[in-house]
Amino acid sequence: MTDRPHVANRMVPLQKILWHEARSPVAGVRRPEPEAMEDAAQVRAYVEAYRWGGPTSALVLHHLRELSRLIRPGDVVVDLACGPGPLLLDLAPLYPGATFIGADLSATMLDVLTNEASARGLRNIRVLREDIRDLPSLHGTRVDVVMSTSALHHLPDEASLERTFARVASLLKPDGAFYLFDFALLRSPRSRALFVAEVAKLAPAATAHDYALSLDAAFPLDVVLALAAGTLPAPYRITTSAFMDFCYFLQTPPRVSREPRIEAHLRTLWRSLGPAMKSEHLALRWFRRSSVRRTAGDRLPTP
């Protein structure tokens, strides 16, 4: 699979973004967006953006690499605010003995996930249309892995984010793992506009608009880290993007070595990416490597 023509010319104007961030010492103002995406056109654009070979492929491969070191055969995995479940659809066939639960408030998103799982013959995916702050169907249940990617910014306020972190803690087994990724609030509106302009070069207008809303709705990084420190079970690693507060990863230490068949699958996915997506994937890993923070209990070596 090759890059789409417009993807090959992608180049984030990093110097301009850093200049705007440096000139904006005051934290940006967060603007919450709706918790659930129900508009059919937006959902279609979202699903299209996550098709393999599209603009999110580099990030998806990174998530799969990280999650494959957390998920064990037979685990129960919950994806918070899963949307149409692109990662669940990738993971479920790799771990046929595991159970994957996608939780989201959007009936439209969950319908897409359910229909796609059925079309692929995947019987180990369940969906819950429930608030991730509570998840009443899972009260009294402990699971092995909790994940959430590019979704926590949909929560309306800091209290909701704290409740979600607390729910992660209460949901996990004592030896469970979590993997949480999302955007952080950039200080400068001009920085956000530059990121959106790059996405607009390779995605439909609806996707670019949704991306703009997401960047504006992101929580400030210091808020995220403070709330996580008070609620998430240690040890875990905190990794942020280098040079600026663009995104964050909160994840527990690896709990399993990748099976050879999964390693081979990841290599196949890597080879299928075009040059631009490969470059973006490597850049993402480098940006993570260059900005690693740890909790006091995390004595893992820098990755």
Q: Is 30 exposed, middle or buried (0-12, 13-18, 19+ CB in 10 A)?
A: middle
Q: What angle do CA 63, 171, 81 make, to 5 degrees?
A: 45
Q: Where are the alpha helices (DSSP H) in 23-93?
A: 40-49, 57-67, 86-91
Q: Is residue 3 part of a domain?
A: no
Residues 3-57: pLDDT tens digits?
343 333 455 778 898 888 888 877 778 999 887 777 777 777 777 778 888 778 8
Question: What is the structure's pLDDT at 119?
Answer: 97
Q: Is residue 9 part of a domain?
A: no
- Give dist(CA 237, CA 292) in Å, integer: 8
Number of domains present in the structure of the chain: 1
Q: Tell me the CATH number at 231.
A: 3.40.50.150
3-class state of residue 137 by DSSP: helix
Q: Is residue 199 part of a domain?
A: yes
Q: Is residue 193 part of a domain?
A: yes
pLDDT bracket for residue 303 (50, 70, 90): very low
Residue 1 has pLDDT above 90, yes or no: no
Q: Is residue 301 part of a domain?
A: no
Question: What is the structure's pLDDT at 293?
Answer: 66
Owning domain of residue 33: 14-294
